[in-house]
Amino acid sequence: EPEVTQTPSHQVTQMGQEVILRCVPISNHLYFYWYRQILGQKVEFLVSFYNNEISEKSEIFDDQFSVERPDGSNFTLKIRSTKLEDSAMYFCASSEVMRGSTDTQYFGPGTRLTVL
Residues that bind another protein (CB under 8 A): 31, 33, 35, 41-45, 48, 55-56, 58, 89, 91, 95, 99, 102-110
- Shortest distance, CB of residue 68 to another protein, whole angstroms? 19
- Shortest distance, CB of residue 106 to another protein, whole angstroms? 8
CA distances from 111 to 38, 51, 55, 71, 85 (A): 12, 24, 23, 20, 15
CB of 63 within 8 A of CB of 8? no
Residue 33 or 65 with smaller CB distance to another protein: 33
Element (DSSP H or E) covering residue 69: none
Residue 25 or 108 with smaller CB distance to another protein: 108
Query: Torsion angle of alpha carbons 100, 55, 31, 79, nearest 10°?
Result: -150
- Shortest distance, CB of residue 81 to another protein, whole angstroms? 25
Residue 58 or 76 with smaller CB distance to another protein: 58
- Shortest distance, CB of residue 109 to another protein, whole angstroms? 5
| CA-based nearest residue to 33, from 100, 86, 110, 88 | 110
